Structure 1
Amino acid sequence: MLKLCSRFFNHIFSVNSKLETWAKTTLKVKSVSYLPNYAVKNNNALTTKLKGVEGKRIVCLANLRPQKDHLNLLKAFKAVLKTEPMWTLHLVGQDFNDAYSKSIFEFINQNKLETSVFIYGSCADTSAILQQCTIGVLSSKSEGLPLALLEYGLAGLPVVCTNVGDCSLVMSHANEGQLIEAQNSILLKKALIEYINNIEKSKLAAVCLKEKIEMQFSEDTTLIKVKTVYKTI
Structure 2
Amino acid sequence: MLKENTMPIQIDLLHLITGLGVGGAERVVLDLSRNSNKNRYKTSVISMSKQQDMLEMFRENHVEVHVLNMNSSIMGLFKLVSAVNHHVKEKNIQLIHAHMTDAMVVGVMVKMLNPKLKLVFTSHNVTFGSKLRTVAVKLLKPFRDRDILFSKDQRSGIYKKNYEMIPNGIDIRRYQLNLQKDEIFTFITVGRLEKQKNHLKLLESAKELRDKGLEFQVLIVGEGKDPVQKKSIEEFIATHKLENYVYLLGVRFDIPELISKADCFVLSSAWEGLPIVLLEAGASKIPIISTPVGSIPSLIDERSGYLADENFTEAMEEVMLNYSSAQERASTLYTKVKENYSIESIVKKHERIYEELV
TM-score between both structures, scaled by the size of structure 2: 0.56
1: CA distance, partners of 2:343 / 2:158: 24
2:344 matches 1:213: no
Q: For the residues of structure 2 that align with 1:42 and 1:35, how far apart are their CA atoms?
A: 20
Long gaps (5+) in structure 1: 47-51
How many Å apart are 1:115 and its aligned residue? 0.7
Supply the distance in 1 between the matched residues of 2:245 and 2:272 (Cα, whole angstroms): 27
Alpha-carbon distance in 2 for matches of 1:166, 1:102: 30
> 1:77 aligned to 2:206?
yes
Separation (CA, whole Å) in 2 of partners of 1:103 and 1:42 = 37
Asked if the contact 1:20–1:32 (Cα under 8 Å) also holds between the matched residues in 2, the reply is: no
Alpha-carbon distance between aligned partners in 2 of 1:53 and 1:213, rounded to the nearest angstrom: 25
- CA-atom RMSD in angstroms: 2.4
CA deviations on 1:34-69 (whole Å, 9 max, x unpaired) are 11111235869x9xxxxx953500001111001111
Output aligned runs, 1:161-200, within 5 Å: 161-171=290-300, 173-181=301-309, 184=310, 187-200=311-324
1:123 and 1:170 map into 2 onto residues whose CA distance is 25
Supply the distance in 1 between the matched residues of 2:182 and 2:208 (Cα, whole angstroms): 19
**1:151-187 deviations in Å (ceiling 9; x for gaps):** 111111100000111111111x311101123xx3xx0
Where 2:159 maps in the other structure, the secondary structure is helix
Q: CA deviation at 1:219?
A: 0.4
Distance verdict in 2 for CA 1:4–1:124, change over 3 Å: same
Within 5 Å, give how 1:42-121 maps onto structure 2.
53-96=182-225, 98-121=227-250
- Aligned match for 1:4, one of 142, 146, 169: 142
Secondary structure of the residue aligned to 1:81 is: helix
SS in 1 for 2:271: coil
Structure 1 position 23, deviation (Å): 4.1
Q: How much identity, in percent, do the aligned residues show?
A: 26
Aligned to 2:163: 32
Q: Which has the higher contact order (CA 8 A, sep 6+)?
A: 1
Give the unaligned 5+ runs of structure 2.
1-138
The higher radius of gyration belongs to: 2
Is 1:136 the equivalent of 2:136? no
TM-score by length of 1: 0.83
- Equivalent residues of 1:42, 1:125 under 8 A apart: no
Q: Is the 8 A contact 1:153 1:206 kept in 2?
A: yes
SS of corresponding position for 2:349: helix
- Paired residues, number: 215
